[in-house]
Amino acid sequence: MKTLYFGLSATWLLIATCATAQTITGTPGAPDAKTTINGLQIPSPPQEFRGKIERNASESTSYWPATIEPSKGAPNVLLIMTDDTGYGTPSTFGGVIPTPALDRIAEEGLRFTNFNSTALCSPTRAALITGRNHQSAGFGVIAEQATGYPGYNSIISKDKATIGTILQDNGYRTSWFGKNHNTPAFQVSQAGPFDQWPIGMGFEYFYGFMGGDTSQWTPGPLMRNTTPIYPYEGNPDYNLTTAMADEAIDYMNRINTLAPEQPFFVYFVPGGVHAPHHPTQEWIDKISAMNLFDEGWNKTREKIFANQKKLGVIPQDAEMTPWPEDLLKSWDKLTDDEKKMFERQVDVFAAYVAYNDHEIGRVIQAVDDMGKLDNTIVIYISGDNGGSAEGTLIGTPNEVAAFNGVDVPVKDQLEHFYDAWGSNETNPHMTVAWSWMFDTPFSWTKQIASHFGGIRQGMAIAWPDVIKDKGGIRHQFHHVIDIAPTILEATRITPPAVVNGIAQSHIEGVSMAYLFDADNADTPSTHRTQYFEMMGDHAIYHDGWIASTKVMRPPWEITGAVSQDPAGFPWELYDLSKDWTQAHDVAAENPEKLKEMEAIFWQEAEKYQVLPLDSTVATRLVIPRPSLVAGRDEFTWEGTFTGTPNGVAPSVLNTSYTITADIEVPEGGGDGMMITQGGRFGGYGFYLLKGKPVFTWNLLDLKRVRWEGSEALTAGKHTIEFDFQYDGLGMGTLAYNNMSGIGQGGTGTLSVDGKVVATQKMERSVPLILQWDENLDVGADTGTGVDDADYKPPFAFTGTLDKVTMQIDHPVMTEADKAKLQKAMITKD
């Protein structure tokens, strides 16, 4: 199928011409009449009424509009993608972790060995559901890093309808289960708008979480459509990985029971295996007993490489890229404590991989049990990017700490977190070295768009009625933008020219359906050119060559100063016809070829909204964005109000602030939460505990600073205030590529009815981000608490909460401050 291009006037002419050409099955005007639309304009224009209307119904003839349905024999679509999974992770692509569900799809269909992502979560997912490049779709980075440029604002514009919208308006039932990282973080609230939520992007039913990752034990913000839900309350065995599979199976069974002939599209995207790594204890025990990693990462890497050649998922002459001795220790250079801790980390990760694949397998089997698998196209993509290096060089029991630039020493990990690793008491991620190993045979990891360790994904596609080359392997270069056009060709749906009255931009990917035919197994790829860019790191693929910028920032370094000139990054060049893994840089021998490739990159960058290049990482998390709180310094809540996600909650990081609660304590004393943001792994809480006022700062589950009154409050009305005076210059220093203004300390003062009851200095504060899968809550606490020793959620306030106010007083830099920072930035560059 070729994408069609029209001028707007020609588009409307063609639509008008074709509108009357739709055929109707059944008796026209009868309740059972069906029609398949041409799809050029969606929603389809109202059908002509061909009955008869007189003054009386007895003299008139009714005429029902025909129900829109897909073309006869159209397949179901099950689109699956896991998270943060390197090419060499699953057994299907040579890994040592058993992934029988992915193996099944590969054995019943095809393996794709040269399929590529964007190197990061939101961008890959935006490209997947739109068929456009990630910057074209507004997702040059993750939603939480959005900036005010068209390629980076986290808004999928209305001229880029998703595959959900297209299939829905052509008669499919559409659903989305799991991770949604494609709603602007500043629109994730109950005030909406909801047009960028799954139900507004063509998915009729959504069960999943909003954001980049979440606890599988206490997930949040977890939604059913647009309603926050808390199914783990009172259910200690709840795990989202199993729950979302249950939900998807239940949904498909409902569709099948009510409308057996109805084709469905299920988009199934679990949070696994993005951190936090949260498999069940059963899977931890099962995988740990297999002793998969006893020999360490270097020897296991060699084993994976050998498996890959044996399976044929890399060429026989492919070379293993060298281990980065200058960046990562070899296994034999570790201490015994490091080996013990790091093996525990990877066992839990591997358990998560296996558990995740098992639950995916249940979903696939459910389709089989319905008798529908033969005419279902199952697309199973192993990872939205390469393995994640965000766990730091030593791993972490709390990824929120890692994102704030705080390491937890191995000694402390062993002493305090070893046995709990993977439970709800940890928010864990593993050391970078394991992630590098899981990207075998390539170099680098997630976030790195210039090298295949960050972008190469294993993928399998099965469609038993159509793909007969079972177990076949395809080595053609393709990209995540090619999935949407492949689905459209498989479902025989024309890409729409107009959606909701808006002319559509062309779909930028190409269909891969030509590879379903064994006769085309060796046909050259139809995807000849593809740019890559992520946080300044960039590359260009063209006809078997790739020019890649040198990696200037290891992806585990997310909080330091970065280059202000990513456009000037030095280039490397690889001839992929001879060098599958990017093992040999041939830039020096091919200067003219490199110059040609550079020119192509800049052409593509201008065409697809890639500019301006920006190499900042963590600092983008805290820049101002449009939201419900933009431009406001004072906030008021009356009564209980829970479930406000981080992206639309006022932030008290790196600033002075005052929080005041006007309450009435009942006879016998009061208890409960007045206001909180965050949870077990980072945040604050202001509450009454056995009648005493308490303000607690949870500094990333590593330390808690506490202000507490000495006496319980008497019955009646009280005003309780917590005032914090921040010592630093604030976020303004980030504009100078300088982080000195954030994470500084300050002095907190707790008062009751105007009288100071506690004051102390807090030496450091959280610099960048609170626990992102928790909420700001007033009057109760959803998710986890900031101090398990004090209370268990929901910890509802037992008195009357008349009003809570928050006043934020941002630091103001002097001209002298600015001049000093400017001078430091110039000197640094």
Question: Structure tokens of 290?
Answer: 């297999």
Phi, psi (rounded to 5 degrees) for 556? -85, -5
Q: How far is CA 386 from CA 506, 531, 615, in A?
A: 28, 17, 19
CB of 622 closer than 8 Å to CB of 690:
no
Count Cβ atoms within 10 A of the Cβ of residue 289 and give its class: 0-12 exposed, 13-18 middle, 19 or more buried. exposed
d(CA 332, CA 192): 53
Q: Cα–Cα distance between 203 and 179 in angstroms, integer?
A: 13
540, β-bridge pairs: 531, 547
CA distances to 103, 137, 521 from 124, in Å = 23, 10, 26
C-alpha 183/C-alpha 186 separation (Å) is 8
- pLDDT given at position 231: 97
Report d(CA 232, CA 826) in Å as an integer: 52
Residue 547: predicted pLDDT: 98
Distance from C-alpha of 396 to C-alpha of 426, rounded to nearest angstrom: 9
**327 by DSSP, 3-state: which?**
coil
Amino acid at 497: A
CA 409, 410, 416, 417 torsion: positive or negative? positive
Q: Count of CB atoms within 10 A of residue 162's CB?
A: 27
Residue 422 to residue 345: CA distance in whole angstroms: 9
One-letter amino acid identity for 269? V
> Which tokens in the block code for residue 352?
């998560």
- Answer positive or negative: Cα dihedral of 302, 273, 216, 105: negative
Radius of gyration (C-alpha) of the chain in whole angstroms: 28
Q: DSSP characters for 564-629?
A: S-GGG--EEEEETTT-TT-----TTT-HHHHHHHHHHHHHHHHHTT-PSP----GGGGGS--SSTT
How many CB atoms are closer than 10 A to CB 117? 30
Q: Which of 434, 362, 609 is nearest to 84 (CA)?
A: 434
Gap between the Cα atoms of 706 and 689, Å rounded: 12
Name the token pair of 825. Answer: 């930035």
Strand pairing category for 800-809 and 656-665: antiparallel
Kindly state the tokens that stand for 717: 């009305």
Per-residue HEC secondary structure of 354-416 comes to HHHHHHHHHHHHHHHHCCCHHHEEEEEEECCCCCCCCCCCCCECEHHHHHCCCCCCHHHHHHH
For residues 387 and 436, the answer to whether their CB atoms sit within 8 Å is: yes
- The DSSP bridge pattern shows strands 110-116 and 472-474 to be parallel
Cα distance between residue 228 and residue 219, in whole Å: 11
Which of 367, 395, 397 is CA-nearest to residue 379? 367
Taking only the tens place, the pLDDT of each residue in 529-549 is 999 999 999 999 999 999 999
The pLDDT value recorded for residue 827 is: 66
Stretch (H or E) spanning 107: helix 100-108
Q: What pLDDT, on the 0 to 100 scale, is given for residue 718?
A: 98
Calculate helix-pair angle for 121-130, 483-491, nearest 10 degrees: 30
Which strand (E) or helix (H) includes residue 308?
helix 296-311
Smallest Cα–Cα separation from 499: which of 173, 203, 167, 72? 167
Average pLDDT of the chain, as a whole number:
95
Alpha-carbon distance of 349 to 344, in angstroms, equals 9
Sheet holding 800-809, edge to edge: 634-637, 800-809, 656-665, 716-726, 744-752, 755-764
How far is 262 from 175, CA to CA, in rounded Å? 13
Using CA atoms, how far apart are residues 203 and 225, in angstroms rounded to an integer? 9
Positions of the chain with pLDDT lower than 50, given as ranges: 1-20
Contact predicate 782/215, CB 8 Å: no
The closest of 165, 182, 201, 160 to 487, measured between CA atoms, is 165
Secondary structure (3-state) at 113 = strand
Other CB atoms closer than 10 Å to residue 189's CB: what's the count? Answer: 19
781 and 673 in contact (C-beta within 8 Å)?
yes
242 within 8 A of 272, measured Cβ to Cβ: no
